Amino acid sequence: MSSRLFEQLTLGDLSLNNRIAMAPMTRGRAGESRVANELMAEYYYQRRSAGMIITEATVVSAQGNGWVGSPGIYTPEMVEGWRRVTHRLEPSGTPIFLQLWHCGRVSHSDFHAGALPVSASAVKLQGDHIHTPLGTKEYETPRPLGTDEILATVADYRLAALHAMEAGFSGIEVHSANGYLLNQFLDAKTNLRQDRYGGSLKNRYRLLGEVLAAVMEVWPANRVGVRLSPNGVFNDMGSRDYRELFLYVLEQLRPLGLGYLHIMDGLAFGFHGLGEPVTLAECRAGYDGLIMGNCGYSRGDAEERIGAGVAEMVSIGRPYITNPDLVERWQHGWPLAPYEDMSLWYTPGPAGYTDSPPYPG
């Protein structure tokens, strides 16, 4: 079957060799320093046949931390660390975008010398426990960010965007999905604010809008992507006006000329079940830029989305953990190595990280 998946694609002023992006995946290999290292450079290098790579979520400030061993981009050492990664990838010509992250309430005081994590409002994440540097703990009720602190957070994103440029990235992706800080401001469930950052859709979107304006002072719009998860329940998200909210957000993003919009339409990571899922077709109707679809796609699902014209490209996550040559495997119809085993997803060292050989292995 001829496939559009392996066709070239123009993303802004970049030319991608195929339409398969490696999805952002936290792998916790940066250690306590949160500085990207040679092992991480090897991991991304092995996956260079992807049309583009989106890095694991990378925190924009110490306040944004909430995951053991995840990398940052807020010190000179962190910039140097990431430069190793981009430098290693450079000869292959594969674009690599840095995903910018602030965990917000998906964090714990153990990460912040006893200070509470921050969020839009004092709404505690219900459910799972969190792994902190000091063990497995209950979530805490976060502290709402003050209005002045929001300005400082926007400035952190701007500086992180600048650092990403200095580190040699091709662009950045603003992580506004999966229940992290920017999602916490968007979602009515976690945003109970009564200032200009809460209440109406306009106000709940304000922080994301300000972050985008700030990072676009550094990067041209077509080197900036945004990730959204309209259907996701991950990290205890989902509010009744989810459809109205996300269609409103698309309307705001539409005129910005972003490089791409990264939409998790698939339900493989959980569904809040508050109504019918938002589809890529709805997103397409409200958005005329490049759409990257994601979540739980088989090769067939990916073909279907692109064939239907509701996405120009897809991102693939879990299969990339054990299939560094995913593009070649799909292209040639070779079988995929199993990727369901979660036991080595976040463990330190090369096991389950850089030790998966290309086909036939």
Ligand X SMILES: Cc1cc2nc3c(=O)[nH]c(=O)nc-3n(C[C@H](O)[C@H](O)[C@H](O)COP(=O)(O)O)c2cc1C
List interacting residues with ligand X (CB under 6 A). Answer: 23-26, 56-57, 99, 175, 177-178, 227, 264, 268-269, 294-297, 316-318, 345
CB nearer to ligand X: pick between 172 and 193: 172
Output the smallest distance, CB 97 to ligand X, in A.
Answer: 11
Q: Which of 74, 139, 180, 260 is catalytic?
A: 180
Measured in degrees and rounded to the nearest 5, phi and psi for residue 266 equal -65, 155
Q: Which is nearer to ligand X, 119 or 294 (CB)?
A: 294
- Which residues, other chains included, contact 304 with Cβ-Cβ below 8 Å and sequence gap of 6+? none
Q: Which is nearer to ligand X, 144 or 232 (CB)?
A: 232
Q: How far is the CB of 114 from ligand X (least distance, A)?
A: 26
Nearer to ligand X, 261 or 295 (CB): 295
HSE of 8, CA atoms in CB hemisphere, 13 A:
7
Name, in order, each residue with C-beta under 8 angstroms of 31's C-beta and a sequence gap of 6 or more.
Answer: 37, 69, 348
Spatial separation of the C-alpha atoms in residues 117 and 104, rounded to whole Å: 6
For strands 14-16 and 9-11, give the pairing.
Answer: antiparallel
Beta bridge partners of 118: 143
* Residue sitting closest to ligand X (CB): 317
CA–CA separation, 32 vs 69, rounded Å? 6
Residue with tokens 């401001």, as numbered in its chain: 185
Say how many C-beta atoms besides its own lie within 10 A of residue 124's C-beta.
Answer: 14
Does the CA dihedral 103-109-113-119 come out positive or negative? Answer: positive
Nearer to ligand X, 141 or 279 (CB): 279
> Is 180 an annotated catalytic residue?
yes
Min dist CB 258 to ligand X, Å, is: 16
In angstroms, give the least distance from the CB of 342 to ligand X: 8
Smallest separation, CB 20 to ligand X (Å): 10
- The CB-of-118 to ligand X minimum distance in angstroms stands at 19
CA distance 157 to 148: 15
Give whole-number Cα distances, 175 to 14, 68, 85, 137, 289, in Å. Answer: 21, 18, 20, 25, 18
For residue 16, give both structure tokens: 């991608």
Q: 314: which strand partners?
A: 20, 293
Run of H or E including 330: helix 326-332
Closer residue to ligand X in complex, CB, 11/30: 30
Alpha-carbon distances of 93 from 34, 49, 175, rounded to whole Å: 26, 10, 24
Active site residues: 180
